[in-house]
Amino acid sequence: MNRLLLSARLVERQALRYTPAGLPALDLLLQHESEVLHEGQRRKVTVEMKARAIGQTVSAAAALAIGDHADFAGFVGALRNGRGVVFHILELHAQPGPGSNAAPAIESE
């Protein structure tokens, strides 16, 4: 099964573009930080991940301000050049802070 759930902060958003099929697409950079217990030891985990919203999730992703936190769900696929991975966002549940313009949760059908 290829399913990724990630609580992350938006750190970068590219300009809106359209796929060859005419769907809106938005490339993002997400940053996750947490602390986990691994083999009885606390370990700090920090990761930045390229992500992509296509179709109905674009409006919710576009409404996130840089620095906003959200819960993302989707799947991981290879980048076109085969070097690295991209997180394809299927669901987005914003966790807006004070003064944020984050959109409500968007789920795929």
What are the pLDDT digits (tens) for 56-109? 999 999 999 999 999 999 999 998 888 899 999 999 998 866 544 444 444 444
pTM score: 0.83
Task: Give the phi and the psi of residue 57 in degrees, each rounded to 5.
Answer: -80, -10
- Which of 90, 93, 77 lies closest to 8 in space, CA to CA? 93
User: Taking a C-beta distance cutoff of 8 angstroms, is the pair 11, 48 a contact?
Assistant: yes
Q: What is the pLDDT of residue 56?
A: 93
Q: What is the pLDDT of residue 89?
A: 98
CATH superfamily ID and name for 4-87:
Nucleic acid-binding proteins (2.40.50.140)
Segments in 34-86 forming alpha helices (H) = 58-63
List the chain domain ranges.
4-87
Concatenating the DSSP letter of every residue in 14-47 gives: ---EE-TTS-EEEEEEEEEEEEEEETTEEEEEEE
What are the pLDDT digits (tens) for 26-62? 999 999 999 999 999 999 999 999 999 999 999 999 9
